[in-house]
Structure 1
Amino acid sequence: MKTYIALLRGINVLGKNSLPMKELVALREGMGARSVRTYIQSGNVVFQSTEKHASPLATRLMDEIKERCGFSPQVLILGPDALERAIARNPFPEGEADPVSLHLGFLAATPRSRDLGKLDSLRKPSERFHLGDDVFYLHTPEGFGKSRLPASAEKLLGVPMTYRNWRTVCKVSAMASE
């Protein structure tokens, strides 16, 4: 059995695209996953599977959610090593002291066309970003919700992504290591 992490984008506790974590756990277990655990309502799932490749897991989970819930969130499946690498490569270690100001945007693919100049023109003087191989690091000391970068980065990088704050990344990584 391999350990995987599913990062779901665009699910909520209430309202549009509601998918409570209890239902997500039951759904994953019904699809054959074992040791399914979630962390907070934003769609972080750690599980074990006999599947050797992550891509079919993402597609099957999106299809199952669409069938049962009527919407299809973006699903990114990672191995524990991907989170460990993302943590180790954090270019803004000073942001770790305020873990909600440091966000990692996990990319669904490698960006082919990237307009980093336009991104740079949108950032506040206190903000910094770094594009890694498969992670877009974003440090927003004045607040993630007050920044123009999160909403623009996906479009300007040309690939889907899902953000997690530093605290969540570290917690999910620890869960995957258990």
Structure 2
Amino acid sequence: MPRYVALLRAVNVGGTGKLPMTELKAMCVEEGFGDVQTYIASGNVVFSSKLGAAKVKAALEKRLHAYAGKPVGVVVRSAGEIAAVLKANPFPKAPPNYTVAIFLDDPPAKDALKDIKGQQDEQVRIGKREIYVAYGGGMGRSKLKIPAAANGTARNINTIAKLAKMAAEDAST
């Protein structure tokens, strides 16, 4: 059965979108997903499902909307796709905790970076359905704004590596 990683947007970050991971796990189990594991409190969940990625996304978004009373964005990647995002990191020498992939539903436009503002020491590259950013001085001080990433959700390379490992594990062992 295919393994997936679902990344929730704006959950438990900066005091917004409170969602206990026990609730997220319960929602996934109620949807019939198997081998459900959450990772840290920022809306990361790994599971198995017979459904395709689009149906997984729709089911989770519907359930989260009912829970939160407002839309909650969900990005879904297969185990292979999350591993590929990690492997494609264009900044392998940058500190992994200062480097993120901003996950998008669709491939960014070729000119997606033309409207960025506030760039200082950050390096930015386009991926398949991601925008990678290496924050030279850290995210906390950055003024970087990427309009093409407005509906995405970012995870640092350390988190992506952990999620890729979790998704690759055979849950039956």
Return the letter of the residue paired with 2:6.
Answer: A
Q: Counterpart in 1 of 2:158? A: 167
Deviation at 1:71, TM superposition (A): 2.7
What does the per-residue CA deviation read over 1:121-170, in whole Å, with 9 as the maximum and x for residues that have no partner?
6311x221101121111000211122122xx21x2x27621100011000
Query: Could you tell me which of 150, 167, 172 is aligned with 1:176?
Result: 167
Residues 1:143 and 2:138 aligned together: yes
Return structure 1 stretches of 4+ with deviation > 6 angstroms: none
1:74 match: 73
1:44 maps to 44
Query: What secondary structure, in the 3-state scheme, does the structure 1 residue paired with 2:93 have?
Result: helix
CA distance in structure 1 between the partners assigned to 2:128 and 2:19 by the alignment? 30
Q: CA deviation at 1:114?
A: 3.2
* Number of residues of Structure 1 aligned to a counterpart in Structure 2: 169
* Pairs within 5 Å for 1:10-25: 10-12=10-12, 15-25=15-25
Residue number among 108, 111, 127 corresponding to 1:111 in the alignment = 108
Identity across matched positions, percent: 33
Residue by residue over 1:49-94, the C-alpha shift from the partner in whole angstroms, topping out at 9 and shown as x without a partner, is 111x111111111111111232321001110111111111111111
Q: Which runs of 5+ in 2 are unaligned?
A: none
Aligned-residue CA RMSD (Å) = 1.9
Q: Secondary structure at the match of 1:130?
A: strand
* Contact 2:37–2:45 (Cα < 8 Å) also in 1: yes
Letter matched to residue 129 of structure 2: D
Q: Which has the higher helix share?
A: 1
Q: Which residue of 1 aligns with 2:59?
A: 60
What is the alpha-carbon distance in structure 1 between the residues aligned to residue 99 and residue 78 of structure 2?
A: 21
Distance 1:12 1:137, change over 3 A: same
Unaligned stretches of 5+ residues in structure 1:
none
Q: TM-score, normalised by structure 2?
A: 0.89
User: Partner residue of 2:29?
Assistant: 29
Give secondary structure in 1 for the equivalent of 2:11: coil
In structure 2, relative to structure 1, the CA distance for the partners of 1:93 and 1:31 (3 Å cut) is same
Summarize the Cα distance change of 1:13–1:127 in structure 2 as closer, same or farther, 3 Å threshold. Answer: closer
